[in-house]
Structure 1
Amino acid sequence: MYKTQRRIALVIINFIAALVFIIIAVNLAPQTKLTDYKTYSNLFPIAVTGLLFAILLFTSLTIFENARGRIEKHSMETGATAYLTKFIEKLRFCYSLEDLTTAVSEILELEADCSVLYIDRNANYVLYNSPNRIVNSPKVLTKLEQNYGSEWHDPINFLGENLGLVTHRRKARGFFFASDGEHFYVFNRYTYLFDSEIYEKMYEEFVRFQNRSRIISSLSEISELSTEWQQLADAQISFLPKKLPEIKNLKLGAYFRPLINVSGDYYTVLPIDENKTLLMLGDVSGKGLAAALVMGLVMNTVKIKENKEDLVGMIISVDAAIKGMHLQDKYTVLFIGIVDTEKMKITYVNASMSDPIIVTRSPEGYRIKSLSSNCSVVGIIPIEPGDVQVSEQRLFSGDLIMMASDGVSEVMNEDKVELGDTELFTNTIKASASKAPQEFVNDIVNLVMSYNADTRLHDDLTMLVAKVER
Structure 2
Amino acid sequence: MGENITLENETDKLKQENQRLKIAVEELAILNDIATVITSSQSLEKVIELMVKSCIKHLKVSQGVVMLLEEQDTEKPFQTMIRKQDSTLELLPYRFDSQLTGWMLKNKSPLLINDIKNDVRFDFANEIDLPIKTLLSVPISLQGKMIGLLTVFNKKSEIGFSPNDQRLLSIIAAQSAHVIENARLLKQEQELIKLEEEYRMAKEIQINILPKKIPAIDGYDIYAINIPAKEVGGDYYDFIKLSGDKIAICLGDITGKGLPAAMLMANLQATLRGQALTQQKVSDVIKNSNTLLINSTSGNRFATLFFAELNYNDHTLTYCNAGHDPVINIKDNKLTHLTEGGLLLGCFDFAEHIQVTKTLEPGEMLVIFSDGITEAMNEKEEEFGEGKLISILQSNIELSAKELSDKIVKEVKTYTGKAEQSDDITLMVLKRSK
The TM-score range, normalised by the shorter chain, is: 0.5 to 0.7
CA contact (8 A) 1:352 1:376 kept: yes
CA contact (8 A) 1:341 1:468 kept: no
The aligned residue for residue 202 of structure 2 is 232
Per the alignment, in what secondary structure is the counterpart of residue 431 of structure 2? Answer: strand
Going from structure 1 to structure 2, the CA distance change for 1:311 and 1:208 (only over 3 Å counts) comes to same
Q: 1:222 to 1:149 in 2, by over 3 A?
A: farther
> 1:454, CA displacement in angstroms?
3.4
How has the CA–CA distance of structure 1 residues 353 and 213 changed in structure 2, closer, same or farther, with 3 Å as cutoff? closer
Q: Letter of the aligned partner of 2:347 in structure 1? A: I
Distance 1:125 1:243, change over 3 A: farther
For the Cα contact (< 8 Å) 2:52–2:65, is it kept in 1? Answer: no
The 3 A distance-change label for structure 1 pair 373 and 409 is: farther
Q: Distance in 2 between matches of 1:276 and 1:243?
A: 17
Indicate how the Cα distance of structure 1 residues 227 and 97 shifts in structure 2: closer, same or farther if over 3 A, else same.
Answer: farther
- Matched residue SS, 1:327: coil
For 1:323, what is the secondary structure of its paired residue?
A: helix
Q: Distance in 1 between matches of 2:256 and 2:41?
A: 41
1:245-256 mapped onto 2 (5 Å cutoff): 245-256=215-226
Show the counterpart of 1:136.
Answer: none
The 1:152/1:251 distance shift into structure 2, 3 A limit, reads closer
The equivalent of 2:316 in structure 1 is 345
Matched, 1:371 2:338: yes
Q: CA deviation at 1:389?
A: 1.6
Equivalences for residues 33-432 of structure 1 within 5 A: 122-124=48-50, 151=64, 208=178, 211-273=181-243, 275-305=245-275, 306-360=277-331, 362=332, 366-383=333-350, 387-412=352-377, 418-422=383-387, 424-432=388-396
Cα displacement string for residues 311-331 of structure 1 (whole angstroms, at most 9, x for unaligned residues) = 122111221122113523432
Question: Secondary structure of the equivalent of 1:321?
Answer: helix
Does the 8 Å contact 2:248/2:310 carry over to 1? yes
Please identify which structure carries the higher strand content. Answer: 2
After superposition, give the CA deviation of every residue in 1:76-119 in whole Å (9 maximum; x if it has no partner): xxxxxxxxxxxxxxxxxxxx9699xxxxxxxxxxxxxxxxxxx9
Q: Secondary structure at the match of 2:410?
A: helix
Q: 1:294 to 1:149 in 2, by over 3 A?
A: same
Structure 2 residue identity aligned to 1:443: K
Cα distance in 2 for residues equivalent to 1:435 and 1:265: 25
Contact 1:396 1:468 in 2 (8 A): yes
Deviation for aligned residue 1:303: 1.5
Whole-angstrom distance in 2 between the partners of 1:469 and 1:146: 84
Equivalent pair of 2:252/2:304 in contact (CA under 8 Å): yes
CA pair 455-261 structure 1, distance change in 2 beyond 3 A? closer
Q: Aligned pair 1:446/2:410, yes or no?
A: yes
Q: Distance in 1 between matches of 2:341 and 2:193?
A: 45
Quick one: distance in 1 between partners of 2:382 and 2:242? 40
**Cα distance between partner residues in 1 of 2:269 and 2:397:** 28
- What is the rounded CA distance, in whole Å, between the counterparts of 1:375 and 1:206 in structure 2? 59
What's 1:82 paired with? none
Identical pairs, percent? 22
Contact 1:278 1:308 in 2 (8 A): no
Larger Rg: 1
The TM-score with structure 1 as length reference comes to: 0.54
Q: Is the 8 A contact 2:232 2:424 kept in 1?
A: no
- C-alpha contact 2:199 2:231 (8 A) present in aligned 1: yes
Amino acid at match of 1:352: G
Distance in 1 between the 2:306 and 2:327 partners?
8
Partner of 1:185: none
TM norm structure 2: 0.58
- Tell me the CA shift for residue 419 of structure 1: 3.6
Q: What is the alpha-carbon distance in structure 1 between the residues aligned to residue 237 and residue 384 of structure 2?
A: 22
Is residue 395 of structure 2 the alignment partner of residue 469 of structure 1? no
Distance in 1, matches of 2:182 and 2:256, equals 36
CA contact (8 A) 2:379 2:418 kept: no
Paired with 1:418 and 1:121, the residues of 2 have a C-alpha distance of 47
**Matched-pair contact (CA < 8 Å) for 1:121–1:150:** no
* Partner amino acid, structure 2, of 1:405: S
How far the C-alpha of 1:122 sits from its partner, in A, is: 3.8
Secondary structure at the aligned position of 2:345 is classed as coil
Note closer, same or farther for the CA distance 1:211–1:121 as it changes in structure 2 (3 Å cut). Answer: closer
> Aligned Cα RMSD in Å?
4.2
Relative to structure 1, the CA distance from residue 388 to residue 260 in structure 2 (aligned partners, 3 Å threshold; closer, same or farther) is same
- CA shift at 1:213, angstroms? 4.8
Distance 2:413 2:294 in 1: 36
2:238 partner letter? T
Q: Which amino acid aligns with 2:342?
A: C
Q: Judge conservation of contact 1:122–1:150 (CA < 8 Å) in 2.
A: no
* 8 Å contact from structure 1 (residues 248, 275) kept in 2: no
Contact (CA 8 Å) 2:306, 2:320: kept in 1 or not? yes
The whole-number CA distance in structure 2 between the counterparts of 1:223 and 1:120 is 20
Change (3 A) 1:458 1:215: closer
1:158-181: per-residue Cα shift (whole Å, max 9, x none)? xxxxxxxxxxxxxxxxxxxxx887
Which structure 1 segments of 5+ residues have no match? 1-95, 100-118, 128-140, 154-178, 182-202
1:357·1:401 contact (CA, 8 Å) conserved in 2?
A: yes
